Structures are given as structure tokens and as C-alpha cells.
């Protein structure tokens, strides 16, 4: 979040082009905005398997697994209950920070577009692009059942979320008709086609 460094009150600045501008005094500072790429998917879609390959495919981007912030958020939030809108907003802020270095952020995260639209950080990133990692229900069920015991399963819920995401959230990338490396290549092609 950009606050005016010239005004005596903590005035939140507003984006204008690639600047942040104070609505009171007109002070401006650089605030570049780049598109954010969200690779979503219900549990069992293959996000974790695709991740290292996607990092290798997109050396000029910053590729992250959103789950990495869950632990710090659990410690930061009262009673260990993660404030999920704040969690998602933190990733928008991160993407805005990465854009200042000219880097696009590619986020593997089970997010939906509507969950990001009303967050304070939304106006500090450019266009949101969504891709959905998807697989057949029986493949997802087998993947979830094979997880270690400490991971939650809730198979019916994840199948329902997958069906929802399949209904038009973004570009579909299958993870059950090839290797994780091949799925990552398709995601990388999708990212590159929108950056260039
Ligand atoms: Zn000001």
C-alpha cells in the first residue's frame, strides 16, 4: 500500500498509470503494475507436482506456491485462524512489489477471481489471468487418497470445487494426460503468450 510521504495524515495514494498519486497534495511515486497469473485448482489438481517444472520453465517470472504463507499467517493471526482475505491480499501486495522489479508473479493458489476483486491490493496489480489445473474425478480421488495421513482429504468437497472451477474460471490445463513437466510447459506457454 502506498501512503503519501508528504502529507501529515496517512493518506492512501491512488494508482494512476504506473504511478501512485496522493489525492490530497498530488505527490506521486513510481508504482508499476503488471498482470498477475494465478494457476488455480482444487486439491489433487497437481499444483505441487507442477511447481518445480514451472519454476524451470519461467526463469524471468517469480513463481510461488501460495501455501508457503499459511504457516506465517497462522502465527500472525489471532487464535491461529488464518484471515483468508488478508492472506490473499498479501499475495496481491507481493505481486505489486515484484512488479517494481519488472517481474511477473505466477501464483499457484486455489483462488477464484471473485475472491480477489474487492481486496485493497487489487488495484495495485494489472490484469488478472486465471488458469485451472484439472484432472478427471477418479484421478483426483486416487491422488487425495494416496496423500500422507497428516494432510486433509475431504474428497467430496474437493471434487465439488473442481467442478465449479471447470465452469469457466479460466484456461484449463489438464494434469492427467501427461507428465507434470508437460503440464508445466503448457502453463508456461499460456503465461508467455500473455506477457508478449
Ligand atoms: Zn499527499
What is the per-residue pLDDT across 64-116, written as a single tens digit (0 to 9) for each? 999 999 999 999 887 878 999 999 999 999 999 999 999 999 999 999 999 99
The reported pLDDT for the residue numbered 131 is: 97
Q: What's the 3 CA to ligand 1 centre distance in angstroms?
A: 8
Ligand 1 center from residue 36 Cα (angstroms): 28
Q: CB within 5 A of ion ligand 1: which residues?
A: 4, 6-7, 11, 22, 24-25, 27
Expressed in angstroms and rounded, the spacing between residue 1 Cα and the centre of ligand 1 is 14
Distance between CA atoms of 26 and 5, rounded to whole angstroms?
Answer: 11
- Superfamily of domain 33-195 in CATH is P-loop containing nucleotide triphosphate hydrolases (3.40.50.300)
Distance 20 CA to ligand 1 centre (A): 11
Query: Ligand 1 centroid to 116 CA: how many Å?
Result: 27
Is the pTM higher than 0.85? The answer reads: yes
For the stretch 121-158, pLDDT in tens is: 999 999 999 999 999 999 999 999 998 888 877 899 99
Describe the crossing of helices 137-145 and 155-166 by its angle, rounded to 10 degrees.
140
List 62's β-bridge partners, or say none: 105
pLDDT for position 103: 97
Q: What is the pLDDT of residue 78?
A: 79
C-alpha to C-alpha distance for 47 and 43, rounded to whole angstroms: 8
The residues with which 174 forms a beta bridge, in sequence order, are 134
Q: Regarding predicted confidence, which is higher, 18 or 77?
A: 18
Please report the pLDDT score of residue 147 as a whole number: 87
Q: Report the pLDDT value the prediction gives residue 154, as an integer from 0 to 100.
A: 87
CATH 3.40.50.300 boundaries in the chain:
33-195
Q: What's the gap in Å between 121 CA and the centre of ligand 1?
A: 19
9 Cα–ligand 1 center, Å: 8
Find the 23 Cα to ligand 1 centroid distance in Å.
Answer: 7
Ligand 1 centroid, distance to 91 Cα (angstroms)? 26
Ligand 1 centroid–CA 21 distance in Å is: 8
What is the predicted pLDDT for the residue at 24?
97
pLDDT at position 148 is: 86
Give the model's pLDDT for residue 27. Answer: 98
Q: Positive or negative CA dihedral for 93, 103, 69, 107?
A: positive
Please work out, in degrees rounded to the nearest 5, the angle formed at the alpha carbon of residue 88 by the alpha carbons of 85 and 90: 110
Amino acid at each position: 500500500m502506498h501512503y503519501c510521504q508528504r502529507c501529515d495524515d496517512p493518506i492512501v495514494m491512488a494508482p494512476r498509470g504506473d504511478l501512485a498519486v496522493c489525492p490530497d497534495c498530488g505527490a506521486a511515486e513510481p508504482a508499476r503494475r503488471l498482470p498477475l497469473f494465478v494457476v488455480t485448482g482444487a486439491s489433487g489438481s497437481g499444483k505441487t507436482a507442477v511447481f518445480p517444472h514451472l519454476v524451470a520453465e519461467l526463469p524471468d517470472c517469480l513463481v510461488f506456491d501460495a501455501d508457503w504463507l499459511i504457516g506465517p499467517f497462522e502465527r500472525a493471526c489471532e487464535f491461529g485462524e488464518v484471515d483468508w482475505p488478508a492472506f490473499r491480499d498479501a499475495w496481491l501486495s507481493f505481486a505489486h512489489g515484484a512488479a517494481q522489479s519488472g517481474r511477473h508473479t505466477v501464483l499457484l493458489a486455489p483462488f477464484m477471481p471473485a475472491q480477489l476483486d474487492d481486496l485493497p491490493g487489487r488495484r495495485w496489480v494489472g490484469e488478472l489471468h486465471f488458469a485451472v489445473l484439472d484432472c478427471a474425478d477418479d484421478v483426483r480421488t486416487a491422488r487425495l487418497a494416496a496423500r500422507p495421513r497428516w494432510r486433509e482429504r475431504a474428497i467430496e468437497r474437493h471434487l465439488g470445487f473442481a467442478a465449479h472451477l471447470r465452469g469457466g474460471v479460466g484456461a484449463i490445463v489438464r494434469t492427467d494426460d501427461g507428465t507434470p513437466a508437460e503440464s508445466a510447459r503448457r502453463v508456461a506457454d499460456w503465461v508467455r503468450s500473455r506477457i508478449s
